[in-house]
Structure 1
Amino acid sequence: MALSPSEAKRTEVVIVASAFGADAIRRDGHAVWAGAAARAGADGFEVRRELLADEADARPEALAQLGSQIRAHGLWAVYSTPATLFRDDGSLDIAALRLAIDEAAALGARIVKLQLGGTESSVATDPATLDRLMTGVAASKARVVVENGQLKAGGTIGAFEALFAALPEASGLAMTFDTGNWHWAEQDPLDAAKRIAPHVAYVHCKAVMGEGARRFAAAPANGDARFATLLAQLPGDVPRGIEYPFIAGAGADGSLDADAERQVARIAAF
């Protein structure tokens, strides 16, 4: 018997910490805003390493405490680091991978996310490199994903396509598909989705406004058919992260809560 729409499991939605504002996260700490994410109805909360106020906050005991606070709000965690999996010359940075995995383990994260990195066109895919990569990924309890960034290096469709084509199907490595970052790297998001959707395990959702260096992330417009078409090309059973700024309400406290709650419902329903 088919499930009714009300019975069907809705798409899990993660709020990326930066959606509440980088300054607010650095000022108040991730734990405070995890509470706001829970009030908004999110399922998960993405901790951003670059928004930790101090390097001491990345120590295992500090991350373990933060992870406990996130779980106390009924949320699961994503751990995001700006570190790249591959160096500028295309070689594997196994130390960066191990550090990200260790920090994600301390947090108790379900997903650990790095940037792809590499050259503008490729990353190393020789057998020795792939073996080291898979061995490193296998050590992680969290799902290891690499994200398309805003630079050509680590942001082209071809680089992701070549890496996943070289890896065996059960490599353990997957992708975070950022719907907006492709524009900065001058790539077509819909083309990217058609070519690499089977490898996507997490989606970062945002629309892009402006042109060139003046681009900025924004909420998808109501009735944005292109955004809806893009999401339809991606797996429907993977978490969707909100990575665009919430807009403060008109109330006396200027709270972001109302918009956060509205955006969680919108992204789940797209």
Structure 2
Amino acid sequence: MSEISRTVEHRADIVIVASAFGADAIRRDGHAVWAAAAARAGADGFEVRRELFASDADAQPEALAQLGQRIRAHGLWSVYSTPAMLFRDDGALDAAALSLAIDEASALEARIVKLQLGGTESGVATDPAALDRLMSGIAASSARVVVENGQLKAGGTIAAFAALFAALPAQSGLAMTFDTGNWHWAEQDPLDAAKRLAPHVGYVHCKAVMGEGARRFAVAPANGDARFATLLAHLPGDVPRGIEYPFIPGADVSLDADAARQVARVAAF
């Protein structure tokens, strides 16, 4: 069976990350307005970004519950993303950050709750006490808990993720968000990461990268991008794929039209 045929028959859910519509637009209008746009584009899910709330009031339980209801009214399920680190700068588990993220995701009724890995450039705590506390925290979550590779070497190296998952039991409840572009900022090989970490991936953030060094930026994968297609082929084909690059309206295409085009493109890879 061809990769295209597999995708058509067992298409992964496509999630639009709120920031794809522009951070300023989300802060100005609120997530619910743009969840409607995600639904019009044909997405299955919508990723709420805590850092794009206009104020802390948006993160209160009642506000999150109302937002969740509005997202579901559009036929979408939600991801709750927080910039909080699962592990502190000294490598220790931040159980309070995990608990807060889980509580907020629960109020939203999110299907997935996403944190950054954090830790040091050497990795994160993997001693039995830390792992027991981590698994106890995860067990309290109704949403699937995932940690994302960030753009810094602290929390963004293949070795840190490999060591953590090697230390955890197979049924720990923790999975990872595999961001296809962030590996470049952390000077890691995305394909090597996919080969080593695929069994632990529960969500994929899709983007290509242009530029070098600090001048890198996220862009849509090009049509027929063989490297991107190969990368996705090494990852689980049934986990949700999030679009995290900006939609670009133009003279001949509206923002809604580009969003719909990108949903179809990511689904077809």
What 5-or-longer segments of structure 2 have no aligned partner?
Answer: none
User: What's 1:88 paired with?
Assistant: 89
Q: 1:249, 1:258 within 8 Å by CA — same for their partners in 2?
A: no
The aligned counterpart of 2:260 is 261
C-alpha deviation, 1:8, in angstroms? 2.0
Matched residue, 1:136: 137
Distance 1:197 1:83, change over 3 A: same
Secondary structure of the structure 1 residue equivalent to 2:259: helix
Equivalents in 1 of 2:232, 2:105: separation in Å? Answer: 27
Equivalent position amino acid for 1:143 in 2: R
Partner of 2:215: 214
Indicate the RMSD between aligned Cα atoms, in angstroms: 1.2
The residue number in structure 2 matching 1:49 is 50
Deviation at 1:9, TM superposition (A): 3.4
Q: Distance in 2 between matches of 1:167 and 1:152?
A: 21
Q: TM-score, normalised by structure 1?
A: 0.96
Per the alignment, residue 192 of structure 1 pairs with 193
**Aligned partners of 1:84 and 1:5: how far apart in 2?**
35
Measure how far apart 1:219 and its partner are.
0.2
Equivalents in 1 of 2:8, 2:211: separation in Å? 40
Size of the aligned set, in residue pairs, is: 265
Q: Which ranges of structure 1 fall in alignment gaps of 5 or more residues?
A: none
Q: Is the 8 A contact 1:78 1:110 kept in 2?
A: yes
- With over 3 angstroms needed to count, the CA separation of the structure-2 counterparts of 1:10 and 1:129, relative to structure 1, is same
Question: Do the aligned residues in 2 keep the contact of 1:120 with 1:154 (CA within 8 Å)?
Answer: yes
Q: Runs ≥4 in structure 1, deviation > 6 angstroms?
A: 4-7
Q: Counterparts of 1:41-80 in structure 2 under 5 Å? A: 41-80=42-81
The answer to whether the Cα contact below 8 Å between 2:10 and 2:238 also exists between their aligned partners in 1 is no
TM-superposed deviation, 1:250? 2.0
- What is the alpha-carbon distance in structure 2 between the residues aligned to residue 161 and residue 61 of structure 1? 38
Report the identity percentage. 85
How many angstroms does 1:248 deviate by? 1.0
- SS in structure 1 opposite 2:27? helix
Q: Any idea what the Cα deviations from partners look like across 1:40-88, whole Å, max 9, x if unmatched?
A: 0000000000000010000000000000000000000000000000000
* Alignment partner, residue 182 of structure 1: 183
One-letter code of the match for 1:91?
A
| Secondary structure at the counterpart of residue 9 of structure 2 | coil
TM-score, normalised by the number of residues in structure 2? 0.97
**Contact map agreement 1:77 1:111 (CA 8 A) in 2:** yes
Contact 1:50/1:82 (8 A) holds in 2: yes
